[in-house]
C-alpha cells in the first residue's frame, strides 16, 4: 500500500507510518517547489512545543515526496527534470550518509500505481521533453518495477511460468533501453544502479558483477551500487560480498557498509538478523559496523534506531539501553524488526528518564 500523501500527513500532524510514541512533529510543510535545501525543515516537540531538528528519516521521506513523488503525480515534468539535473551526480548527503540521488528511482517506484496509467504519463513526459534522459530512465525503471510486481512481493516464492515470461519481456525492454543510455548517462551513477538491478533480475550474474566492478570504481561512494549488487546473494555468499564491499569502502565508511547491506536485507525480509536461529551475520562484526556508521553519522536517528533493534535481538542490554535513550523522543517504532520496541524495552529494562 502506498504511503499517505504529504498533505494528508500534515493534516494529521504526523504520517500514519510514523512512530506511535514519537513526540517530534512536523512544524510546516515541505515547499511544493523542489530545490529547497533539506536542512530547511522544522519540527516541533509536541510536549514542550519547542523547535527541534527533524529526524533524518522524516527529512528523507519528505524530500523524496516533494522532489519526485508529488511532481510525478501532478505530471509536473519541469519539476522532475529539475530534480534529475540537481541530483544527477549524487546531490547532497543526508544525516545517515545516503545521497539525494538514491531517492530518485525508489521515488518513481513509490509513485507508480498502474502500468497503463503510468505508461501514459511517461509517454506524455517524453512527448513534452523529447530526448529527455530523465524520462528515458523513468521508462526503464517502469519496466523494471512492473517486471518485479508481476512476479509478486514474496522474495522466497517462485512465480508461475506466465509471470516469469512477462517479467522477462519487461526486463529485456529495460535492458535494451539502458544500453542506449550508457554513454549519455556516463557522468551519473544512476545508470549503473538500475543496470545492475536489471542484470541481476535477468539472472545475468556475470554481467551484473562486471557492471558493479565498473560502476563502483567510477563512483565508489554511491551506496546503491553495493546495495543493488548485494541482492544477488544470500547466506554465506552474501556475507562474502559484504566483506568485499567493506574493503572497497573502508576509506570513507570504515566497516559501515557491512551494516548498510545487512540492514537492507533485514528490512526487506530477505535475510532477517536473527542471532538465535542464524550464524550470519555475527553480532561482534555487525556491532562494529554500526559503530563505524554512527561515528561518521552521529545525527542519524534512523541508523541509531536500526542499531537499537539489532542490539535488542542480540541480547546486548547495555548497548540497547544506551541507543534507546539516544533515540528517545524520536522513537521510530517502524524500524524495530522481529521484536517490537515495547518488548525490547521490557526485555532489556529500559525506561524513560
Q: Domain limits at 293?
A: 249-353
Question: What pLDDT does 13 receive?
Answer: 31
Query: Does residue 319 sit within a domain?
Result: yes
pLDDT digits over 204-245, tens only? 999 999 999 999 999 999 999 999 999 999 999 999 999 999
Q: What 3-state class would DSSP assign to 348?
A: helix
Query: Does residue 295 sit within a domain?
Result: yes
Question: What pLDDT does 55 receive?
Answer: 87
Q: What 3-state class would DSSP assign to 240?
A: helix
Per DSSP bridges, beta strands 51-52 and 43-45 are antiparallel
State the total domains in the chain.
1
Higher-scoring residue by pLDDT: 206, 25: 206
- Of the chain, the percentage scoring pLDDT greater than 70 comes to 88
Q: How far is CA 62 from CA 44, 105, 163, in A?
A: 16, 15, 34
Element (H, E) at 26: strand 24-26
Question: What pLDDT does 39 receive?
Answer: 43
Query: Does residue 316 sit within a domain?
Result: yes
pLDDT digits over 115-162, tens only? 999 999 999 999 999 999 999 999 999 999 999 999 987 777 889 999
pLDDT grade for 25, boundaries at 50, 70 and 90: low
**What are the strands, taking DSSP E only, across 36-142?**
43-45, 51-52
Query: Does residue 86 sit within a domain?
Result: no
State mean pLDDT over 160-181.
98
Question: What are the residues facing 18 on neighbouring strands?
Answer: none
Query: Does residue 317 sit within a domain?
Result: yes
Query: Does residue 77 sit within a domain?
Result: no
pLDDT at 1 over 70: no
pLDDT at 31 over 90: no
Element (H, E) at 24: strand 24-26
Question: What pLDDT does 41 receive?
Answer: 56
Query: Does residue 207 sit within a domain?
Result: no
**Residue 149 burial (CB < 10 Å; 0-12/13-18/19+)?**
middle
Query: Could you tell me if 350 and 321 are in contact, meaning their C-beta atoms sit under 8 angstroms apart?
Result: yes
Query: Does residue 106 sit within a domain?
Result: no
pLDDT grade for 332, boundaries at 50, 70 and 90: confident
Amino acid at each position: 500500500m502506498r504511503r499517505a500523501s504529504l498533505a494528508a500527513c500534515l493534516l494529521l500532524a504526523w504520517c500514519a507510518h510514523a512512530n506511535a510514541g514519537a513526540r517530534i512533529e512536523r512544524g510546516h510543510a515541505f515547499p511544493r517547489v523542489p530545490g529547497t535545501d533539506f536542512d530547511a525543515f522544522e519540527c516541533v516537540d509536541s510536549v514542550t512545543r519547542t523547535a527541534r531538528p527533524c529526524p533524518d528519516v522524516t527529512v528523507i521521506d519528505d524530500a523524496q515526496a516533494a522532489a519526485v513523488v508529488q511532481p510525478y503525480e501532478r505530471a509536473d515534468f519541469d519539476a522532475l527534470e529539475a530534480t534529475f539535473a540537481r541530483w544527477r551526480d549524487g546531490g547532497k548527503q543526508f544525516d545517515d550518509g545516503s545521497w539525494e540521488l538514491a531517492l530518485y528511482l525508489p521515488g518513481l517506484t513509490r509513485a507508480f500505481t498502474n502500468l497503463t496509467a503510468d505508461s501514459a504519463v511517461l509517454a506524455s513526459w517524453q512527448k513534452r521533453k523529447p530526448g529527455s534522459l530523465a524520462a528515458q530512465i523513468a521508462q526503464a525503471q517502469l519496466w523494471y518495477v512492473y517486471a518485479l510486481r508481476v512476479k509478486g512481493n514474496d522474495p522466497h516464492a517462485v512465480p508461475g511460468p506466465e509471470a516469469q515470461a512477462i517479467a522477462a519481456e519487461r526486463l529485456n525492454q529495460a535492458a535494451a533501453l539502458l544500453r542506449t543510455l550508457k554513454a549519455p548517462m556516463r557522468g551519473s551513477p544512476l545508470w549503473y544502479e538500475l543496470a545492475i538491478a536489471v542484470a541481476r533480475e535477468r539472472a545475468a550474474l556475470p554481467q551484473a558483477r562486471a557492471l558493479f566492478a565498473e560502476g563502483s570504481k567510477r563512483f565508489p561512494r554511491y551506496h546503491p551500487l553495493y546495495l543493488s549488487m548485494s541482492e544477488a546473494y544470500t547466506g554465506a555468499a552474501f556475507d562474502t560480498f559484504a566483506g568485499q564491499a567493506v574493503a572497497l569502502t573502508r576509506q570513507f565508511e570504515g566497516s559501515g557498509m557491512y551494516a548498510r547491506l545487512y540492514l537492507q536485507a533485514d528490512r526487506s525480509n530477505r535475510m532477517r538478523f536473527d542471532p538465535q536461529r542464524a550464524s550470519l551475520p555475527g553480532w561482534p562484526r555487525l556491532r562494529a559496523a554500526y559503530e563505524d556508521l554512527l561515528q561518521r553519522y552521529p545525527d542519524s536517528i534512523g541508523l541509531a534506531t536500526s542499531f537499537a533493534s539489532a542490539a535488542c535481538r542480540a541480547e546486548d542490554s547495555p548497548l540497547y539501553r544506551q541507543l534507546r535513550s539516544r533515540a528517545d523522543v524520536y522513537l521510530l517504532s517502524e524500524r524495530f524488526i522481529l521484536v517490537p520496541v515495547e518488548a525490547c524495552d521490557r526485555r532489556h529494562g529500559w525506561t524513560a528518564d
